[in-house]
Structure 1
């Protein structure tokens, strides 16, 4: 069930939460932009779980 833009995790209390995956290229600029969006999402939704996935192609 790990395919797709999200997955589920269970914390120590048994609560199930959704993890939202954010894809990014591996360039420094792309990572800065992605981190900025992730920070804003965490600010707006403090309980959100994010996972940043870097692209694996040979382009930078």
Structure 2
């Protein structure tokens, strides 16, 4: 996503992992998501791809 000032913003879209109620780390009752390790690993892989110059558009 290109911003007005030239800044480029990348968004990781993967509804299966990130589109849910609560906080990024847990549900509305304060319990951790059981797949936090998978969600964090996916985010880390995306960051590694950016760092390596291998940006992919379909990560899910």
Considering fraction of residues, name the structure with more strand: 1
Rg larger for: 2
With structure 1 as the length reference, what TM-score do the two structures score? 0.39
Considering fraction of residues, name the structure with more helix: 2
With structure 2 as the length reference, what TM-score do the two structures score? 0.39
